[in-house]
Amino acid sequence: MTLDQALAFALVGFTVAGFVWGRLPYDLIALLGLLAGVATGIVPIKSAFTGFADDVVVIVVAALLVSAAIARSGVVEDIMRPLMPHMKTVQRQVTILVAAVTVLAMFTKNVGALAMFMPVAGQVARKNGTSVSKLLMPMAFGSLIGGLVTLVGTSPNIIVSKIRQDVTGEPFRMFDYAPVGLGVVAAGFLFLAFASRLIPERRPGGSMADAFAMDAYTAEAEIPEGSAIAGRTVADLEAAADNDILVRTIIRERFRRLEPSPAMVVKANDLLLLGGEPDGIERAVARAGLRLTGDAAARRTDIESESVVEGVVTPQSPAIGSRIGKLALETAHGVSILAVSRADTQIEQRLSSVRLREGDVLVLKGTSETVPPALAALRILPLAERSIVLGRNRRSFIPLGVLACAMLLTAFGVVSAVAAFFAAAVILLLLRVMSMHEAYQTVEASVIVLLAALIPLSEAIQTTGGTDLIAGWLSALLHNLSPTLSLFMVTLLAMAVTPFLNNAATVLMLGPIAAGLAQRLGLSPDPFLMAVALGSACDFLTPIGHQCNTIVMAPGGYRFGDYWRLGLPLSVIVLVVGVPLIAFFWPVMP
């Protein structure tokens, strides 16, 4: 072992130890490792920051943006609507939700796919009295196995494709993973659909959203001419919002106030007082084609500058006792009030006639320039915990169409995956599906920094000859084993390491080693790279090995030790099903 190799191994070892220690953020540990690599000369300064321009980072960023655009479009909720009435039992809820997340994770980043369906799971749990802990963990695991099917489904597949290009000159293509991934998906889905009883029932922690009742807010909406809901019943309108709203009052011909009943027919130009949470009201506005009466100024707001906030009227507010209509908020402050919530009181009058009281909670809309001074002038305290969707109606199938085009162009080899998904992200931003500010919020900087810092570190192992050295040691240990058993051991090693690092770090370190091992054994590197991708993408034992496991921990109320109960048998299934499939579809003999 040379001095450079020893330094490279020590550097990686200290980085891994930092990940396991867990006292510092993963991205900071990776940056410290990169700094140490530059300081010792193991990582040349000219190569230290190439990771930020690597294709892997670009694809991950673009996939996250496309996933977020689809989530914001509301198309996922609209597609799931016909299935909601059939999700009465826990068994059906788990089966349908896991199937939906798994399928979507095949075509978008698995973290994005899971994030899109978590609000749906919350609705289903609330409506049927199900503990959401019974739903979220199977969905997280479903997103992991769904990501195995395509190149862009999970980060390990993207990184392994790059390693294969470095080794053989040809990357894995979009659906090269599908033969193995689909087999694992079929077996894993059958297990997850019937194994929810292995998950302990937990009580999630409370949040700001729990402090509001279903009909806490009152919003005022108009039925415009040509609306699809005109001529339909009140029950139809409430059903359009998945019955998450109440039609409290109908105002017809300006002065007639009607007490609504489920069978009452609503007409064009009717004014409706709607009660519900902001997301439920938003669904009613979007699906029924309504128009919020307080949103006139905001409709002229550019997507880049619009701002929707939730705030509470403080005792010092000069607006207390004033009617909302008399405040002339649009003229004086450039904001409008979309909805009002008042503790223990249902508002039964038009919003313009409501006199504000101390403690009223408002949904205000304006621009990033007008909202902060308006809040200060009116002494309204913003509530920052909840993300408000009311007044941000951007429902559209455009993001789904752009994603489909990117997938097809990549699948048929017209353009590379990095070019297709980069173009998809830019096109969606150009079409104003989301603002640049929202795009920056979507892309987690910690993930990007982690990947960009680890890429030069992993390359240092290769450039110093460390991968060949480790491959030699492994080949000595495995040379008496059959090729299939060698694949099994590589997959098991990747599975064992991932919970303590994360999937990206595991692939970056084990991928080149697995390729070198295959070459030393005189075997094809492809099945060994597939084994690394499979093992590193399937951490079902801890909440820290993959983001999908992490993001459901708090909402599901899970403890660290809950994951292995469902995850251990699923890991065994992946090994038993996945390794033979790799050997079958990717022959080990060159």
Residue 252 lies in a domain: yes
Please, which pLDDT band fits residue 534 given cuts at 50, 70 and 90?
very high
pLDDT in the model for residue 214: 41
H or E segment to which residue 399 belongs: helix 398-411
Lowest mean per-residue pLDDT among 395-399, 427-431, 480-484: 395-399
Are 322 and 366 a contacting pair, CB within 8 Å? no
Same domain membership, residue 127 and residue 78: yes
Residue 443 lies in a domain: yes
pLDDT in the model for residue 467: 64
Are 409 and 341 a contacting pair, CB within 8 Å? no
Calpha distance 365→145 (Å, rounded): 41
Calpha distance 438→69 (Å, rounded): 10
Q: DSSP assignment of 173-236, as one string?
A: -TTTTHHHHHHHHHHHHHHHHH-GGGSPP--PPP-GGGGS-TT-EEEEEE--TT-TTTTSBHHH
- Helix (H/G/I), strand (E/B), else coil: 310: strand
Question: Residue 348, Cβ neighbours under 10 Å: how many?
Answer: 12
Could you give the number of structural domains in the chain? 3
pLDDT in the model for residue 74: 73
Report the DSSP pairing between strands 306-313 and 361-367: antiparallel
Q: List the one residue out of 454, 583, 576 whose CA is nearest residue 510.
A: 454
Output the six-digit token pair for 265. Answer: 């027919």
Higher pLDDT among residues 177 and 77, named by residue: 177
Same domain membership, residue 466 and residue 348: no
Same domain membership, residue 371 and residue 406: no
Higher pLDDT among residues 14 and 142, named by residue: 142
Are 43 and 31 a contacting pair, CB within 8 Å? no
Which position has the token pair 């806490």?
216
CA-derived radius of gyration, the chain: 27
Return the percentage of the chain with pLDDT > 70, whole number: 89
Lowest mean per-residue pLDDT among 209-218, 269-278, 415-424, 544-553: 209-218
The domain boundary, picked from 289, 307, 335, lies at: 289
Same domain membership, residue 351 and residue 234: no
Phi, psi of 242 (to 5 degrees): 60, 30
Higher pLDDT among residues 365 and 296, named by residue: 365
- Res. 298: pLDDT tops 70: no
Lowest mean per-residue pLDDT among 145-154, 347-356, 539-548: 539-548
Same domain membership, residue 269 and residue 328: no
pLDDT in the model for residue 211: 46
Report the DSSP pairing between strands 291-292 and 245-252: unpaired
- Res. 514: pLDDT tops 50: yes
Calpha distance 138→144 (Å, rounded): 10
H or E segment to which residue 341 belongs: strand 336-341
H or E segment to which residue 556 belongs: helix 553-556
- Helix (H/G/I), strand (E/B), else coil: 99: helix
Calpha distance 268→378 (Å, rounded): 35
Residues in the chain: 590
Are 188 and 573 a contacting pair, CB within 8 Å? yes
- Res. 153: pLDDT tops 90: no
Burial of 267 per CB tally in 10 Å (0-12, 13-18, 19+):
middle
- Res. 347: pLDDT tops 90: no
Are 568 and 540 a contacting pair, CB within 8 Å? yes
Calpha distance 563→567 (Å, rounded): 6
Same domain membership, residue 399 and residue 371: no
Lowest mean per-residue pLDDT among 2-6, 295-299, 560-564: 295-299
- Average pLDDT for residues 243-268, to the nearest whole number? 89
Residue 243 lies in a domain: yes
Range picked from 79-88, 104-113, 420-429 for highest mean pLDDT: 420-429
In three-state form (DSSP H/G/I as H, E/B as E, the rest C), the secondary structure along 236-292 is: HHHHHCCCCEEEEEEEECCCEEECCCCCCECCCCCEEEEEECHHHHHHHHHHHCCEE
Are 296 and 220 a contacting pair, CB within 8 Å? no
pLDDT in the model for residue 66: 80
* pLDDT tens digit sequence for 187-200: 999 999 988 788 87
Calpha distance 121→134 (Å, rounded): 10
The domain boundary, picked from 378, 407, 428, lies at: 378
pLDDT in the model for residue 296: 59
Whichever domain contains 253, its CATH number is 3.30.70.1450
pLDDT in the model for residue 302: 66
- Amino acid letter at 579? V
Residue 294 lies in a domain: no
- Spell out the alpha helix ranges (H) of 147-175: 155-168
Please, which pLDDT band fits residue 249 given cuts at 50, 70 and 90?
very high
- Average pLDDT for residues 110-134, to the nearest whole number? 82
Please, which pLDDT band fits residue 181 given cuts at 50, 70 and 90?
very high
Residue 210 lies in a domain: no
Same domain membership, residue 241 and residue 132: no
- Res. 206: pLDDT tops 80: no
The DSSP call for residue 355 is B
Higher pLDDT among residues 20 and 111, named by residue: 111
Calpha distance 34→49 (Å, rounded): 9
Question: Residue 25, Cβ neighbours under 10 Å: how many?
Answer: 13
Residue 218 lies in a domain: no
Residue 337 lies in a domain: yes
Calpha distance 141→145 (Å, rounded): 6
- Res. 297: pLDDT tops 60: no
Output the six-digit token pair for 525. Answer: 């590197």
Are 485 and 525 a contacting pair, CB within 8 Å? no
Same domain membership, residue 481 and residue 422: yes
- Average pLDDT for residues 549-555, to the nearest whole number? 74
Q: List the one residue out of 12, 162, 187 whose CA is nearest residue 532.
A: 162
Please, which pLDDT band fits residue 332 given cuts at 50, 70 and 90?
confident
Residue 160 lies in a domain: yes
Domain of 232 in residue numbering reads as 225-289
- Amino acid letter at 585? F
- Res. 212: pLDDT tops 70: no
pLDDT in the model for residue 20: 65
27-43 burial code (b ≥16 CB/10 A, e <16): bebbbebbebbbeeebb
Please, which pLDDT band fits residue 139 given cuts at 50, 70 and 90?
very high
How far does CA 108 lie from the centroid of its chain? Answer: 10
Same domain membership, residue 399 and residue 373: no
Same domain membership, residue 230 and residue 196: no
pLDDT in the model for residue 515: 86
Phi, psi of 314 (to 5 degrees): -85, 165
Please, which pLDDT band fits residue 144 given cuts at 50, 70 and 90?
very high
How far does CA 114 lie from the centroid of its chain? Answer: 5
Report the DSSP pairing between strands 256-258 and 306-313: unpaired
Interaxial angle between packed helices 503-520 and 155-168, expressed in degrees from 0 to 180 and rounded to the nearest 10: 30
Same domain membership, residue 257 and residue 133: no
Return the percentage of the chain with pLDDT > 90, whole number: 24
Same domain membership, residue 32 and residue 105: yes
